[in-house]
Structures are given as C-alpha cells and as structure tokens.
Amino acid sequence: MSEVKAAVMMMDGFEESETVQIVDLLRRAGVTVHTFRFQDDPIVTGMQKIRVRSDLRFGEDVKKYDLIVVPGGRTCAAKFIAEKDFMDTLKWFNENNKLICGMCSGTVVLEEAGVLAGKKATGYTGYEEKLKSAEFVHEAAVYDKNVVTSQGPATPYPFAFKIMEALNIDPEVIKGRLLYLEAGGR
C-alpha cells in the first residue's frame, strides 16, 4: 500500500482525548498523520485546557491528504463552521470522493458542509435531530460511501478502527497489539 496521509483538524476547545487517541491509533496503523491548526501559534488549547502542539497551519495543502478528520469539542463545531475556507475544503473532499471523518460535534460540522446528505451517519446522544440530511444510525462508528462518523468521547477506538477499514487497513492487527479484544472492545 502506498503512503496514506491523514489531516486531523485542531481548533481551540478541541476534545483532547478524541484527537490524541485518533492520531495515535492511525499512526500505529502506518498512516502518516499531521495535525492542523487555524491560528499562528502552534500550541492549541483543548477543552480540558490541555495544550497540544500542532504540526501545520490549515491551508490549501490539506487537499493533498487522503482523508480529513474533524474531532469534537463542545465549542469547536461553531468555530469550524465559521471558517469558510475549511467548510469549502470539506465540500471539495466530498466532491472528489476523498474520505471525510467526524466524531461527536465534528459530525455537526460535516452536516453543515453538506457531506452527510443521503449517507448513514451516527453522532453524539441527541444528534439525530442535528444530522437531518443523513440516515442516522445508533452505532459507535459508521462508514458509508466516503464518510466515517462516530458518537463521541467514548468512541475514538471504534472510530479509528472504522477509518482503518475505510482505508483497507486490517484493524485486527492493531486491536491485537492493544489487547483491545481482551479488554472487551468491540
């Protein structure tokens, strides 16, 4: 398999556990992952006030990546939606059938960008009303066409494994290394 590149978005207020775990799991699977910020300062402050150094500033180069990931965070969705260039990039990814991934409030961002229309999706408790253009399903993580969605903070593992499946990477190898199945993961 040729190099797969993932762009993981970070905005002040991002959900740290979702973001960091997704980055770690995708890197364990051999995916080249870079985190992108929307500010000059490379340090991005999360929801729990944990500060994380991002790799790159968001720009046109994101379109060179194979997939884009929008993690959650209570205040992030509105901030992402306010970034016109970012929303246009999500639409471009969709038009070019590239993989788009969102979890928790990130799914609301995907809805606003119009990329969930006619696809199965899941989201945080109560998001069935927010993700109106999708066929909402009550599963931890869902992959349909070019979109992977997940419910929230308790689901970064199923989310990352579903992304791996979408990339034709066998997640069972990673699950075995993590003792995921022995711990009762599904």
Domains and CATH numbers, the chain: 5-173 (3.40.50.880)
Q: What is the pLDDT of residues 134-153, one digit of tens each?
A: 999 999 999 999 999 999 88
> Residue 73 is which amino acid?
G
Helix (H, G, I), strand (E, B) or coil at 57: strand
Q: Could you give the CA distance from residue 115 to residue 92 in angstroms, rounded to a whole number?
A: 10
What DSSP assignment string belongs to 68-126?
EEE---TTHHHHHHH-HHHHHHHHHHHHTT-EEEEETTHHHHHHHHT-STTSEE--STT
pLDDT value at 74 more than 90: no
pLDDT value at 186 more than 80: no
In this prediction the pTM is 0.94
Helical pair 84-95 and 106-113, crossing angle rounded to 10 deg: 70
96: tokens are 């070019």
